Amino acid sequence: MKPRIFVSSTFYDLKYVREDLSNFIKAHDFEPIMFEDGDIGYTPGRALDRACYETMHSADMVLLIIGGNYGSPAEGEVKDEFKEYISITRNEFKSAVNEGIPIYVFIDGKVYVEYEIYEMNYEEIEHGKTKINFKNVKDINVFRFIREIKNLGNLPITEFDKIIQIKDFLSKQWSDMFKKYLAILKENKENENIKNAVEDMNLLVQKMDLMLDSVGKKILSADNSKEYENVVEMQNVVSVCQKISRGISLENASSEDSYGERKKIIGKFVDVLDESMSEDIWEALSPKNVGKFFAYFKSRNVEIAALSMGFIKNKKDIQEVIRNSKTRERLINELVKDRYYLFMVKEAWDNAMEEDTENTDA
């Protein structure tokens, strides 16, 4: 399907510009939308300009050409030599803005020079203190229209003295659009390749899990022992140990603690952690009320030095291990080991945070 380009401007003063642009657009195999070519369907009994705004919905791009004429008043507007009123062309522009259609604005160079004179004398002109007769602009509302466009601040405005300048500008813009489109296609292809690779990897991992699970059951259940269940339980314990040691640090834990001291500290911590899961402090845990979480543990003689906000996501997994007496004991025996306990020491946590900050700054 061809891109549809709406050419918006006054007619009589820009007739030849419109005709030239129509041929230029067709030469690029695009479809111009121009009322003089019958591209806008009018309905008997309705205001003619309504059809223009409705046709705008189907446009992919708008070319707005501004010359010295302001154009006919839109439906419901009254032409006035001094007061501001809305023309059909200006309403077409508003419709395009509301629809979010890309707009390119081209202003006759002589008109733009006079607009700058208008801007320098804006207060005096608009308050009737000064009257300036402009040579190229027939209606002061042309300047008000340009001012409205510039105040939007996000539309490309190009001055032109000859039609070739408009065509050169559009050729470059459309070439750039096509290049960006190709880049997007390439990026999407690369993203699709990455996505497929990740999906393949996930599928492979799932297959390996199924295979190992099946093999494990056959080997470990061969003599009807409980070894298989023990392996699964231990995997869950190790996973929870990782989540706890990377999610929380204890104020009173030290790398110098003996095995007995570690066992006492971790045992107390696990007891309070178990109790806390029956409280609402987990559901309400957020950066704003994390103090409530800290206070709960402190009131039970366990001081938390730091907490990762992602820790709350692990509640279900932690609870399953802690509420089972067998896996609870395994959890404590694992957490006292260096590979977990040292991560829960305040100094180690602080050092890890400093390294993360340095890496972020770098």
pLDDT, tens digit (0-9, with 9 covering 90-100), for 72-129: 888 888 887 778 899 999 999 999 999 899 999 999 999 999 999 999 998 888 887 7
Confidence of residue 362 (pLDDT cuts 50, 70, 90): very low
Percent of residues, the chain, with pLDDT higher than 90: 32
Are 240 and 325 contained in the same domain?
yes
The CATH number that applies at residue 56 is 3.40.50
Pairing of strands 31-33, 248-250: unpaired
- Least confident span in 4-18, 201-215, 335-349: 201-215
Residue 216 lies in a domain: no
Buried b / exposed e over 106-115, threshold 16 CB at 10 Å, is bbbebbbebb
Pairing of strands 61-66, 304-307: unpaired
Confidence of residue 187 (pLDDT cuts 50, 70, 90): confident
Instruction: Report the largest interatomic distance among the alpha carbons of the chain, rounded to a whole angstrom.
Output: 106
* Structural domain count of the chain: 2
Q: 313-325, pLDDT tens digit by residue?
A: 888 888 899 988 8
**Enclosing domain of residue 57:** 4-161
> Is the model's pLDDT at 136 over the cut of 60?
yes
Boundary-marking domain end, from 161, 184, 208: 161
Q: 250-293, pLDDT tens digit by residue?
A: 988 888 999 999 999 999 999 998 888 887 777 666 666 677 88
Report, as an integer, the average pLDDT of 310-315.
Answer: 78
Q: 10-59, pLDDT tens digit by residue?
A: 988 899 999 999 999 999 889 998 887 776 766 666 677 778 888 888 89
Are 155 and 237 contained in the same domain?
no
Are 234 and 355 contained in the same domain?
yes
Phi first, then psi: what are they for 352, rounded to 5°? -65, -40
Q: Which residues contact 338 (CB under 8 A, 6 or more apart)?
A: none
Residue 197 lies in a domain: no
Are 134 and 18 contained in the same domain?
yes
Tokens representing 295 are 């206070």
Give the pLDDT confidence score for residue 147 in this predicted structure: 94
Boundary-marking domain end, from 146, 161, 176: 161
Mean pLDDT of the chain: 83
Q: How far apart are CA 32 and CA 2, in angstroms?
A: 10
Residue 175 lies in a domain: no
**Highest mean pLDDT, choosing among 48-57, 162-171, 177-186, 212-221:** 162-171
